[in-house]
């Protein structure tokens, strides 16, 4: 890489980590995207410095990357990296105006995630064998995933000191080590209490893991893989045929909130989304829910007289 461009790239990645608190995997993705831009400027543009790139140069770069069969979503991420980078150069007073400002985003196909109904979640919890050593723990895990909308990483890193029963909240450390306070249901608190009193208190707990809430039978913190395995086994036992992962409970949490009338801003805060645009997918899920409700219950639905697009 051009030494000058390499310094700019390193400063940019440091900015993402320290000032924007971006997750490490996102930083690595941006690093890969910047390496593509660097390769293009060296091989196609004659080793030009980043500050001299124009809107036409960046448009041509995006067209060049599209030739490699990248998905629209990957192209959108590359565009995001470029825009963030040139905004950083403006912030760092290396350039006056970002040449990436007018770049257009590739159109993405909307992918709606799988969502469980409340009845299906109850069905999964009913399939838990509470007579087993892990039963109380697994029930608390499922209810906490659902009632708090947690990511898997947030669940396995949840500590005893993060739970505030008197306030009905928990402290969650999300992406980029960002902390948020999330309400927790009385049902989840009840199941956590059962787990603590009936199972966890009898375990031989490793000192390094003694403050973590959910532990395996050897007294160690659970892994992401173990949570996926627990969810898969419970769904099989409950006869759930949908493609379900731990993240499905997070989607279900958000969708049920939107269906119940919660504002997108409130849902954004509870999920820990950096951008409201990420949360907006649940309005599409809610629209599908409304359409299904109409087609299932309206007296004219069997005559196909309702066109949901007219609403």
Catalytic residue among 15, 31, 175, 284: 175
Active site residue 273: yes
Active site residue 282: yes
| CB environment 199-210: b (16+ within 10 A), e (fewer) | bbeebeeeeebe
Q: Which two tokens stand for residue 80?
A: 């995001």
Catalytic residue among 151, 200, 251, 256: 151
Residues 197, 212 contacting (CB under 8 angstroms): no
Look-up: residue for tokens 């040449």?
A: 99
Catalytic residue among 48, 198, 247, 284: 247
Given CA atoms 171, 173, 178, 183 in this order, what sign does their dihedral have? Answer: negative
- Pick from 237, 232, 235, 203: nearest CA to 220: 203
Active site residue 242: no
Catalytic residue among 77, 137, 250, 256: 250
Catalytic residue among 84, 221, 256, 273: 273
Helices (H), 134-245: 135-148, 152-156, 186-198, 224-238
Q: Would you name the residues annotated as active-site residues? A: 151, 175, 247, 250, 273, 282
């Amino acid at each position: 890489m051009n030494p000058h461009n390499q310094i700019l790239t390193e400063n940019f990645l440091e900015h993402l980590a320290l000032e924007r608190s971006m997750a490490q995997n996102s930083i690595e993705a941006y690093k890969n995207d910047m390496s593509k831009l660097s390769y293009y400027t060296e091989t196609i543009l004659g080793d030009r410095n980043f500050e001299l790139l124009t809107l036409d140069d960046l448009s041509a770069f995006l067209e060049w990357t599209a030739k490699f069969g990248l998905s629209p979503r990957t192209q959108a991420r590359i565009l995001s990296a470029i825009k963030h980078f040139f905004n950083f150069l403006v912030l760092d007073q290396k350039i006056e105006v970002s040449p990436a400002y007018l770049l257009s985003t590739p159109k993405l196909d909307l992918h709606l995630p799988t969502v469980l109904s409340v009845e299906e979640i109850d069905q999964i919890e009913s399939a838990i064998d509470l007579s087993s050593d892990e039963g109380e723990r697994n029930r608390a895990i499922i209810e906490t995933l659902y009632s708090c909308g947690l990511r898997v990483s947030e669940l396995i890193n949840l500590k005893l000191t993060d739970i505030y029963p008197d306030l009905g909240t928990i402290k969650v450390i999300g992406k980029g080590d960002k902390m948020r306070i999330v309400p927790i249901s009385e049902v989840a608190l009840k199941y956590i209490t059962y787990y603590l009193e009936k199972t966890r208190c009898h375990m031989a707990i490793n000192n390094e893991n003694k403050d973590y809430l959910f532990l395996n039978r050897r007294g160690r913190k659970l892994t992401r893989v173990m949570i996926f395995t627990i969810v898969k086994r419970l769904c099989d036992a409950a006869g759930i045929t949908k493609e379900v992962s731990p993240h499905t409970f997070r989607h279900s949490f958000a969708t049920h909130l939107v269906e119940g009338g919660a504002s997108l801003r409130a849902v954004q805060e509870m999920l820990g989304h950096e951008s409201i645009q990420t949360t907006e997918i649940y309005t599409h899920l809610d629209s599908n829910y409304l359409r299904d409700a109409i087609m299932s219950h309206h007296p004219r639905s069997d005559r196909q007289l309702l066109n949901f697009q007219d609403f």
